[in-house]
Amino acid sequence: MSSPTPAPPPATASLTERRKAATRADIARAAAGLFVRQGLKATRAEDIAQAAGVAPRTFYRYFATKEEAVAPLYADGADRWTRAVHDAPTALSVPEALEHAVRHTLTPGEGISGASWEWTRTLVRLALHDPALHRVWAEVSHATEARLAEVLAERCAGGDASADLAFPAAVASAVVRVAVETWATGEAPADGPEGPRARALANLEALKGFPWGSTPETPEAPETPKAPKTSKAPTTSKAPRAPRAPKSR
């Protein structure tokens, strides 16, 4: 999932940090705009820098490649989803919290406009067809799983950092990622029955009964059958001894 507007820095950030975040966001938006309008291959890092109003060397201080320039947009969409799971009412079960988050982050107009969803479609579609951009998308998805594992630990294990919730977090992330990717490859509107929200809710429905609260137990390996005991060969009976001759006096 991606957002055309990166999240602002925390209010506690210093002035320098806020300026850096603003420059980073400007570059990300400029890159996304060029990718959407003229395509990834036709866009150079220098073009992005010019569109963002910065020097090329400034661009490279923030991003190593042109593909990495849209990472903040991918990450912001993923962060919205993770925060929505975290902020869901504590009385909700994990499946209910995930559904709550889906409805609050994948519904056009809930933080992201319908027009912005078309940007999202293009950026995700590009990521699915370009290896370099796909690596950026995959790295953001992996980082999201790690953050979501912490959120699930808070909801399921009382914040126990030792709780191994990596697998449930990966499944929950895939619920949204696959929904967005599948929608992005088609032409269905974002708010329709084939939009990302509807697809994600269908994915959750298919996972009823999944053990969200913990890692599924690993089944015990079957015992190796013991080799049958071999019967001992019958012992050969000893021949009876001959009687001794009586001693002469």
Task: Give which of 19, 27, 15, 18 is closest to 55, Cα–Cα.
Answer: 27
Q: Using 50, 70 and 90 to split pLDDT, how confident is the model at 179?
A: very high
What number of other Cβ atoms are within 10 A of residue 4's Cβ? 22
Domain limits, the chain: 15-206
Q: Which residue in the block uniquely carries the two structure tokens 């796909």? A: 134
Per residue in 33-53, pLDDT (tens digit) is 999 999 999 999 999 999 999
Q: What three-state secondary structure class fits 240?
A: coil
pTM, to two decimals? 0.77
Residues 6+ apart with CB under 8 A from 193: none
Specify the CATH number for 15-206; select among 2.60.40.10, 1.10.357.10, 1.10.940.10, 3.40.47.10.
1.10.357.10
Tell me how long the chain is: 249
Residue 7 has pLDDT above 90, yes or no: no
Q: Which residue in the block uniquely carries the two structure tokens 């269908």? A: 202
Instruction: HSE, CB side, 13 Å, CA atoms: give it for residue 9.
Output: 14
Per residue in 207-238, pLDDT (tens digit) is 988 888 654 455 555 566 666 665 555 555 55
